[in-house]
Homo-oligomer: A and B are copies of this chain.
Amino acid sequence: MSETDRLARQIAFLLDADRLKTILRRTPLADNSRLENSAEHSWHLALAALTLREYAPSGTDIAHAVALVIVHDLVEIDAGDTFAYAVDGQDTKAARERAAAERLFGLLPPDQAPSFRALWEEFEAHDTPSARYANALDRLQPLLLNMESGGGSWTAHGVRRSQVVARMQPIRDWVPEAWSFVVDVIDRACALGRITPD
């Protein structure tokens, strides 16, 4: 592969990745003006990874965790965003996302594709401290937006308290210093009728 072809493939990948800006999540922005997209969500996670580094699990490589969150949602370009609290789509999610990873990372030069795919797989497996930190942030950030926007996807979709608590377990397990804050947010949202009681 010539130098020119190599750069052309990398740029084709970056232009395809641009479509992540058009994938809408169920969570609104903090100001409740519109739904968040997956590209700006990924940026917000990267900023959170830098900001909350002191709470990361022992052994976390912060720079690596940032790379994980930058890449973690790219498969949604083909596979779409599967709502965390939905029943539909969860069973086919893995297959759709694997096919998306194959195509999308396959746009890169062949020697580069595996390292990007490995970032996505590491995030999904949450077997490393960096991936556990990244996954915990991926739960905390929408909680912050639902809290700030007045209920967000919790209220819009009638999500129950036990569902939210279950969804937030990666924070309890891997970023325990933030857990009492999370429980407090959930309790206040329940008291305000923004989360449905069990």
Contacts and interface: CB of A to CB of B under 8 A. Distances in A.
Nearest to A66: B66
Contact of A47 (B17, B52, B141): B17
Copies in the assembly, this chain: 2
A126 interface: no
Interface residues of A, number: 51
Nearest to A48: B14
A148 interface: yes
A15 B46 contact: no
A191 interface: no
Interface string A11-45: 10111011111100000011101001101101110
Contacts of A40: 20-21, 37, 39-40, 43
Q: Chain B CB within 10 Å — which of A46, A55, A112, A144 has the most?
A: A46
B14 A144 contact: yes
A70 B52 contact: no
Nearest to A73: B43
A39 B44 contact: yes
Given A7-B181, A52-B10, A177-B7, A31 B47 contact: no
A145 interface: yes
Interface of A: 3-4, 7-8, 10-11, 13-15, 17-22, 29-31, 33, 36-37, 39-40, 42-44, 46-48, 50-52, 55, 62-64, 66-67, 70-71, 108, 112, 116, 141, 144-145, 148, 177-178, 180-181
